[in-house]
Chains A and B, each alone.
Chain A
Amino acid sequence: MKSNDYKDLSHIMAPKSVAIIGASSNPDKVGHVILQNYIDAGYSGKIYPVNIKNEGTILGLKAYTSVLDVKKPIDVGVIAVPAMAVPQVMEECGKAGVKGLVVVSGGFLEVGNAQLQEQLVAIARKYSMPTIGPNCLGVMDPRSRIDTLFLPTYKIDRPKIGGVSFAAQSGAVGSAVLDMIGSEGFGIARFLSYGNAADVDEVDILNYLGNDKDTKVIVYYIEGVKRGKEFIEVAKRVTKIKPVVISKGGVTAAGAGAAHSHTASLAGSSQAYDAVFRQFGFTIAKDLKDLINYAKIFDTQPLATGKRIAILTNGGGIGVLATDALYNNGLELASLTKDSEDRLRKLMPATVNIRMPMDLVGDADDKRYTDALSVVGDDPNVDAILAIVLFQTPGADSRLASSLVSFAAKMKKPMVGLSVGGSYTHAHRQMMENAGMPVYESPDDAAGSLAALINYSRYRKGIA
């Protein structure tokens, strides 16, 4: 199947003009919040507020009774009117030549109104208007500065511009994760919450994000797919180009009663999804926290050559915990070459034991870390580095944090940090993450994220 068999969403994500249908000067209305957000985000294209009860101007912009009255090209229509009025509004959009739609209104299949949803799909297809929704939060794009999210900006953090695109069937999961990303070091490329997936579905979105040049990493929360075979075809192509982190909600029980064979009773629907994700190069996230943990390692780190990890730490106990976490996640400790060991012995004080996990001991400062890293980073037996810093110790301060980030930025191998602690630690973690080095809060988060990167690297190599 060719990529032009899937719906083109570029007009929806980067429109030159937008009609907000259901725009209102009443702050309680969804259409008001959406219009306000477009204005607040600094959207530079044309905005046409549309309301059947024409109010003259809305938020200072000239308002229209119908899109048909605008008489200028409209790239996208954002529809926030009661469900019953949606078909008529869509017809008008079709006649006005609107190129794509986002229907945020609810009241369709999710409340059992299948007929209304079918009507929506029929109109979308009649006018070849790719339509996202209904019953969704819609889209956000910090580059084109569009924002259909009817969530006031003071209640939810809006992430900065970056390379991670995030798509979610559920608006609740979408907005919660978006809010979490807002306080992370990485930024987003596109955000899509696609609700009922009546017209534009999981397959179209995966295809679009796969082809999208600004998207480096795809993060996907789904509850199911309707076109399984097409989903696989698109996934095969996309996961060869970029990582896709996926989490699936709504695990259904296997139809055990109807199963004839042992195979059928073992291979239920959620097992089938799990198998598809594994087979076609997805990275499975068990929960929402993993979505974020994995997104940031994929966004900032290169692919790995293997699973041998060097651990440097300024605290012995946490090094032991991290070692356990490595092995629990299928990774292993690197063993340094003889040459590296000799060089380290010359560089390190006698209190440092030259073996993995390498404890640089409690008085380690930025100099000692940099010396150790310069040897370990070059060692051919090391595939990736886990740098543990306990900021509670006297030698660990902002100088160390900045040495680590500049080392990580130069290094060709993946490197992540692990810092456990309170507010001082948190500030440094954030500083390092803003500079492009993921720093995790627990040994298992760090090891799990390294394992995600390493398994994906292995997949990319295996199918190359």
Chain B
Amino acid sequence: MDELWDYDKAHALVKRYNIRSVESVYVKSSDDAVRFAAGGPIALKAISAKALHKSKSGLIMLNLSTKDEINAAYRELDKRAAEFKPYKVLAQRMISGGIEIIIGGNTDQQFGKMILIGLGGIYVETFKDFALRVCPIKEFDAQSMLDQMKSRNIIAPDKKSEHMLKSLLMSAARMFAENEITEFDLNPLILHDGTYDAVDLRVMG
């Protein structure tokens, strides 16, 4: 039976394929989180195998900067996560602005492992603007995936960002093909300041 990978394990996996993700640590206390934040905005997430959709279960607290904000959020998260015990609390740096996309993998019954890129954010289900290919993919495939998307000029407005996304797609496809995993989501993955960071990692296998 497929299981959701622990965040640390998932994080180590994407790192091995040089896929960037936001700086994150597990924290044991509110004080830990305050030290990690060091004044900058962070997010706190309760991670539990029993809660597959963190945002739907209210297990994500965003934009926390001051000591008071972090302490209050930590207490609230503890309360909300009580029904999902055991859980751990993850502190993550926040990225401001940028464009949300999704990169993911799914195992099709007929054709095997497939890689996906889509426009992310709150409109993902409405626009369903995504492209899908069978792994492994070549540069030609990565290019045609981008070309297929309606939001192509939003997510890859210039040669540099196009190149970045193509190599990211190829790395993600390689990661998927070479490991014993059945599904994964890098969602959201935020394109910002000429680079990108995966914010949430979900790996099943």
Q: Which residues from chain A sit less than 8 Å from chain B, CB to CB?
A: 224-226, 228-229, 232, 260-264, 266-267, 269, 271-276, 278-280, 462-463
Number of interface residues of B (CB under 8 A): 33
Bitwise interface map of B from 170 to 197 toward A, beta carbon under 8 Å scored 1, else 0: 0000000000000111010000000000
Q: Which residue of A lies closest to B131 (CB)?
A: A275
Return chain A residues, CB-CB under 8 Å to B106.
Answer: 261, 263-264, 267
Given contacts A228-B111, A264-B104, 12 further A-B pairs with CB under 8 A are A225-B110, A260-B204, A261-B204, A262-B124, A263-B183, A267-B108, A269-B108, A272-B110, A272-B111, A275-B114, A279-B134, A462-B140
Contacts A263-B102, A266-B116; is A271 near B202 (CB within 8 Å)?
no
Contacts A260-B52, A260-B204, A262-B104; is A228 near B112 (CB within 8 Å)?
yes
CA distance in complex: A232, B204 (Å): 25
CA distance in complex: A272, B144 (Å): 15
Contacts A263-B184, A264-B183; is A276 near B104 (CB within 8 Å)?
no
Q: How far is the CB of B49 from chain A (nearest CB, A)?
A: 12
CA distance in complex: A260, B183 (Å): 8
Does residue B148 face the partner (Cβ distance < 8 Å to A)? Answer: yes
Q: How far is the CB of A206 from chain B (nearest CB, A)?
A: 15
Can you list 21 A-B pairs with a CB-CB distance of less than 8 A? A226-B110, A228-B109, A232-B111, A260-B2, A260-B4, A260-B52, A261-B183, A261-B184, A262-B124, A262-B187, A263-B106, A264-B183, A266-B124, A267-B108, A272-B111, A274-B132, A275-B133, A278-B148, A279-B137, A279-B144, A280-B134
Return chain B residues, CB-CB under 8 Å to A463.
Answer: 140
Q: How far is the CB of B102 from chain A (nearest CB, A)?
A: 6
CA distance in complex: A270, B136 (Å): 20
CA distance in complex: A40, B118 (Å): 56
**Pick from A266, A269, A280: contact of B109, CB under 8 Å:** A269
Q: How far is the CB of B179 from chain A (nearest CB, A)?
A: 15
Q: How far is the CB of B50 from chain A (nearest CB, A)?
A: 13
Do A275 and B134 have beta carbons less than 8 Å apart?
A: yes
Q: Is the interface of A mostly helix, strand, loop or mixed?
A: helix
CA distance in complex: A306, B128 (Å): 29
Do B111 and A271 have beta carbons less than 8 Å apart?
A: no
Do B111 and A262 have beta carbons less than 8 Å apart?
A: no
CA distance in complex: A261, B106 (Å): 8
Q: Which residue of B lies closest to A226 (CB)?
A: B110
Q: How far is the CB of B112 from chain A (nearest CB, A)?
A: 6
Contacts A275-B133, A279-B141; is A263 near B110 (CB within 8 Å)?
no
Q: Which residue of B lies closest to A272 (CB)?
A: B108
Do A232 and B108 have beta carbons less than 8 Å apart?
A: no
CA distance in complex: A463, B184 (Å): 29
Q: How far is the CB of A399 from chain B (nearest CB, A)?
A: 43
Do B111 and A278 have beta carbons less than 8 Å apart?
A: no
CA distance in complex: A463, B132 (Å): 19
Return chain A residues, CB-CB under 8 Å to B144.
Answer: 278-279
Return chain A residues, CB-CB under 8 Å to B131.
Answer: 275
Contacts A260-B183, A263-B185; is A276 near B52 (CB within 8 Å)?
no
Q: How far is the CB of B54 from chain A (nearest CB, A)?
A: 13
CA distance in complex: A255, B137 (Å): 25
Do A228 and B108 have beta carbons less than 8 Å apart?
A: yes
Return chain A residues, CB-CB under 8 Å to B52.
Answer: 260
B103-158 residues with Cβ-Cβ distance < 8 A to A are: 104-106, 108-112, 114, 116, 118, 124, 128, 130-134, 137, 140-141, 144, 148
Q: Which residue of A lies closest to B111 (CB)?
A: A228
Q: How far is the CB of B169 from chain A (nearest CB, A)?
A: 13
Return chain B residues, CB-CB under 8 Å to A462.
Answer: 140
Q: Which residue of B lies closest to A263 (CB)?
A: B104
Do A276 and B134 have beta carbons less than 8 Å apart?
A: yes
CA distance in complex: A266, B127 (Å): 11
Return chain A residues, CB-CB under 8 Å to B202.
Answer: 260-261
Contacts A261-B183, A262-B124, A276-B134; is A267 near B111 (CB within 8 Å)?
no
